[in-house]
């Protein structure tokens, strides 16, 4: 997003097999498929795939700084958002298969490029391998914070399994009404799942901690919850902001996104086949300010396809 405001030698197993993939329940869909044999709703197998890895400058200022966030874009997604901006990779249509050893190498390469952190984008569906990679990286002395950049549609057990491994949680809170999550993301039970998942994230990272650098204040631990304002859904957005602020207060940062971009495949959804108006977004910002919310807002220019990275396997 665009916002206004070497290592020691540690053995690495190369042929792990995870029971979580044999009957997958990593997310609330609980497909229970054996991902070593076929795919579930997320359209990926147990083989980790990545579409891009590189410095990303359009996250919140405390995450991107001036040097960039080390973003790794994983292939596949367990959501079914009809408005998805990253549709090239979300439905498993692109990406390169990599090993955990290569993922470790990407961590190091992003560090060498000056990244402030390692940003795991839609890594939810590969958590078993990601957990192992982070454990090994930390054991080898890797110091950058790890971010889980997630839709929040994952099981609370999945979040619990990351305690001590993820330093910064960057969850979406897409919907507070189930009827909307079903219609626009085919995600029954999303609001309840997101509430429970975010609650566990805040339990693990109860306050936001920053490091003062030459690039400004950089987040090193905490939770930043994002909400994307969608066309005609201002009431839902305000309900979401109120819920988050009343629940967590200043323990979290709230990031209100204005980057909704029609993707050209919304003929069956005329109600959201447009950009958010400046009046809608300003109304949401004023409401958040009236509550005392601490967080971020976006420039109008963020709702532009030029801010969507090219999923061209660079850095992979």
How many other CB atoms sit within 10 Å of the CB of residue 128?
22
| Interatomic CA distance for residues 290 and 292, integer angstroms | 6
d(CA 202, CA 249): 11
Over residues 93-110, the mean pLDDT reads 95
> Three-class SS of residue 102?
helix
Alpha-carbon span 208 to 268, nearest angstrom = 41
Q: Which of 43-52, 59-68, 72-81, 300-309 has the lowest mean pLDDT?
A: 300-309
Span 282-304, average pLDDT = 85
Alpha helices in 140-189 (DSSP H): 156-160, 178-185
Confidence of residue 14 (pLDDT cuts 50, 70, 90): very low
| Contact status, residue 278 vs residue 300, Cβ threshold 8 Å | yes
Q: Is the predicted pLDDT of residue 12 greater than 70, yes or no?
A: no
* Distance from C-alpha of 38 to C-alpha of 316, rounded to nearest angstrom: 24
**pLDDT confidence band for 13 (50 / 70 / 90):** very low
In this structure, what token pair is assigned to residue 6?
Answer: 């070497």
**Mean pLDDT of all residues in 272-292:** 97
The predicted model gives 242-250 an average pLDDT of: 98
Model confidence at 16, pLDDT cuts 50, 70, 90, reads confident
Q: Rounded mean pLDDT of the chain?
A: 91
Q: What integer pLDDT is reported at residue 85 of this predicted model?
A: 86
Q: Which domains does the chain have, with CATH numbers?
A: 19-224 (3.20.20)
**Spatial separation of the C-alpha atoms in residues 283 and 277, rounded to whole Å:** 10
Kindly state the percentage of the chain with pLDDT values over 90: 84
Assign residue 186 a region: left if phi > 0, alpha if psi is -120 to 50, beta otherwise?
A: left
Query: Residue 100 contacts by C-beta under 8 Å, 6 or more apart in sequence?
Result: 12, 14, 16, 48, 129, 132, 133, 136
pLDDT tops 80 at residue 1: no
Least confident of 48-52, 67-71, 262-266: 262-266
């Amino acid at each position: 997003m665009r916002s206004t405001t070497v290592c020691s030698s540690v053995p690495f197993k190369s042929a792990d097999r995870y029971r979580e993939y044999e009957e997958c329940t990593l997310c609330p869909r609980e497909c229970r498929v054996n991902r070593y044999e076929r795919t579930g709703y997320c359209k990926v197998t147990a083989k980790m795939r990545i579409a891009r890895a590189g410095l990303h400058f359009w996250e919140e200022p405390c995450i991107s700084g001036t040097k960039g966030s080390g973003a790794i874009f994983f292939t596949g997604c367990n959501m079914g958002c009809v408005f998805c901006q990253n549709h090239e990779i979300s439905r498993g249509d692109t990406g390169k298969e990599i090993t955990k050893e290569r993922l470790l190498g990407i961590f190091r390469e992003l560090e060498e490029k000056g990244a402030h952190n390692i940003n795991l984008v839609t890594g939810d569906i590969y958590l078993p391998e990601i957990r192992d990679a982070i454990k090994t990286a930390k054991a080898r002395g890797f110091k950058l914070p790890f971010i889980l950049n997630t839709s929040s549609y994952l099981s609370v057990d999945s979040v619990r399994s990351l305690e001590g491994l993820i330093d910064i949680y960057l969850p979406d809170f897409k919907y507070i009404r189930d009827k909307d999550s079903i219609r626009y993301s085919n995600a029954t039970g999303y609001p309840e799942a997101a509430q429970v998942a975010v609650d566990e994230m805040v339990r693990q990272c109860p306050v936001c901690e920053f490091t003062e650098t030459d690039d400004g204040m950089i987040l090193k631990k905490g939770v930043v919850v994002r909400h994307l304002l969608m066309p005609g859904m201002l009431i839902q957005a305000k309900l979401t902001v109120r819920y988050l602020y009343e629940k967590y207060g200043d323990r979290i940062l709230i990031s209100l996104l204005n980057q909704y971009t029609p993707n050209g495949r919304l003929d069956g959804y005329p109600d959201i086949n447009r950009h958010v108006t400046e009046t809608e977004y300003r109304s949401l910002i004023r409401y958040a300010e009236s509550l005392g919310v601490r967080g971020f807002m976006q420039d109008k220019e963020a709702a532009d396809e030029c801010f969507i990275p090219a999923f061209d396997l660079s850095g992979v």
